Amino acid sequence: MAKVVCVLYDDPIDGYPKSYARDDLPKIDHYPGGQTLPTPKATDFQPGTLLGSVSGELGLRKYLEENGHTLIVTSDKDGPDSVLEREIVDADVVISQPFWPAYLTAERIAKAKNLKLALTAGIGSDHVDLQAAIDGGVTVAEVTYCNSISVAEHVVMMILGLVRNYIPSYQWVVKGGWNIADCVTRSYDVEGMHVGTVAAGRIGLAVLKRLKPFDMHLHYTDRHRLPEAVEKELGLTWHATREEMYEVCDVVTLNCPLHPETEHMINDETLKRFKRGAYLVNTARGKLCDRDAIARALESGQLAGYAGDVWFPQPAPKDHPWRSMPHHGMTPHISGTSLSAQTRYAAGTREILECFFEGRPIRDEYLIVDGGKLAGTGAHSYSAGNATGGSEEAAKFKRG
Catalytic residue among 255, 302, 314, 342: 314
**Residues 268 and 295: beta-carbon distance below 8 Å:** no
Whether 342 is catalytic is no
Whether 35 is catalytic is no
Whether 333 is catalytic is yes
Read off the amino acid at residue 314. Q
Give the list of residues 6+ apart from residue 31 with CB closer than 8 angstroms, or none. Answer: 37, 145, 148, 149, 202
Please, what's the b/e burial string for 24-61 (b: 16 or more CB within 10 A of its CB; e: otherwise)? eeeeeeebeeeeebbebeebbbebbbbbbbbebbbbbe
Characterize the bridge pairing of strands 373-374 and 367-370. Answer: antiparallel
Residue 128 CA to residue 119 CA, distance in Å, equals 10
The CA-based dihedral angle spanning residues 205, 209, 210, 215, taken in that order and rounded to the nearest 10 degrees: 130
Catalytic residue among 69, 127, 219, 285: 285
Catalytic residue among 69, 127, 328, 333: 333
Nearest-CA neighbor of 192 among 212, 213, 157, 217? 217
Whether 217 is catalytic is no
Catalytic residue among 69, 127, 147, 320: 147
The enclosing H or E element of 160 equals helix 148-163
Catalytic positions are 147, 285, 314, 333
